[in-house]
Amino acid sequence: MSVSPPRRALLLALLAGVPAAAQPASEQRGAANERHLELTVDDVGQQPEVRISPGRATTLVFNAPLLPGGVQVEDERLMTLAVNESRSVVTLLPSDSPPPDKPLSLTVRFADGAVPESVIFRLVPHPGAERQVRVYRQPRSADSYKQEAWQQRERAERCEAELARTQAEQPHPEGLVGLFDAQLVGRGQGLQEKTLTKSITQRSGEILRVKDCFSYRAEQAERVVVELWVTHTGQQPWTLERAELMNTEGTRLHVLRVWPSHPISPGGRRQLVVEAEATKEQSRGTFLLELREASGAGTVTVRGVTFP
């Protein structure tokens, strides 16, 4: 909009930094109405408010260079805008017409490429207009911002890789689905179970005493399992390292794994599991199960093991 000579003179005087004594009395009374505002990276996206009044000038003084042509007001018909880019000063002079029902916006873009790159002010009509707002921008270089973003992406990628590695170390899904993934059950065939607690025997004096014993067959996968619940009666920790399953005819089954591998404390009660390969024909008859301790100091012998 066209600016009247008195208005233009007032704006030029404000931009030139005329001392307060040279201002009208109303301006002198408002000289103390000065506010300091800080802008940081954390403030990106926020819209700080600036109070304006019709016919009263409000000046924004920045500590950062302004981008040429980068200062815009939402509706120039309601606002006279003057920009001194060399001094980083923006002066607003609302018109004498009533302000709109909603606040106007003032966009200011900076020229140094640091973050925040711009700020949007909400110009709020208020009887007590702010004479001057000093805007202190605490910049952060775009390269620094990109470096932090890159580091965060790198940490996220490491976390994803660690999660993938952990999941890869788990051979089967959890729960009953894991039985299907391991091909222990399927095609209408499942685990068969047999309770052996009353039919097994072991030598006296062994430091692990078997309290309960069960056997299982997974015919789909040609696997057999012996499950023992034992009590440690010795004085030193006992760790299961390996096991052997041999029938009365001397045939040994191929033991695939034993579990768990951590020690059983004296007085402790623990579940021990031995898994072996065996077809239904190979697992017929009665078996001797030997549990070997890691140090070789103790062997547990269980007789009378049979499979379903």
The answer to whether residue 149 sits within a structural domain is: no
Do 231 and 112 fall into the same domain?
no
Q: How far is CA 163 from the centre of its chain?
A: 12
The pLDDT tens digits for 212-267 are 999 998 887 888 999 999 999 988 888 898 999 999 888 899 999 898 888 888 89
The pLDDT tens digits for 21-32 are 333 333 333 445
Q: What is the DSSP string of 227-243?
A: EEEEEE-SSS-B-EEEE
Do 193 and 134 fall into the same domain?
no
Do 9 and 124 fall into the same domain?
yes
Q: Residue 19, exposed/middle/buried by CB under 10 A (0-12, 13-18, 19+)?
A: exposed
Cis peptide before 48 (omega within 30 of 0): no
CA dist 8 and 57 (Å) reads 12
CA dist 138 and 263 (Å) reads 59
Do 129 and 237 fall into the same domain?
no
CA dist 301 and 37 (Å) reads 82
Q: What is the pLDDT of residue 2?
A: 43
Do 67 and 193 fall into the same domain?
no
Total domains in the fold of the chain? 2
DSSP class of residue 98 equals P
> Which range of residues forms the domain containing residue 99?
5-142
The pLDDT tens digits for 119-178 are 999 999 888 889 999 999 987 766 666 677 777 777 777 777 776 776 666 555 555 566
Give backbone dihedrals phi and psi of 34, rounded to 5 degrees, phi first.
-125, 140
Does the pTM exceed 0.85? no
Q: Which of 264, 244, 263 is nearest to 254 (CA)?
A: 244
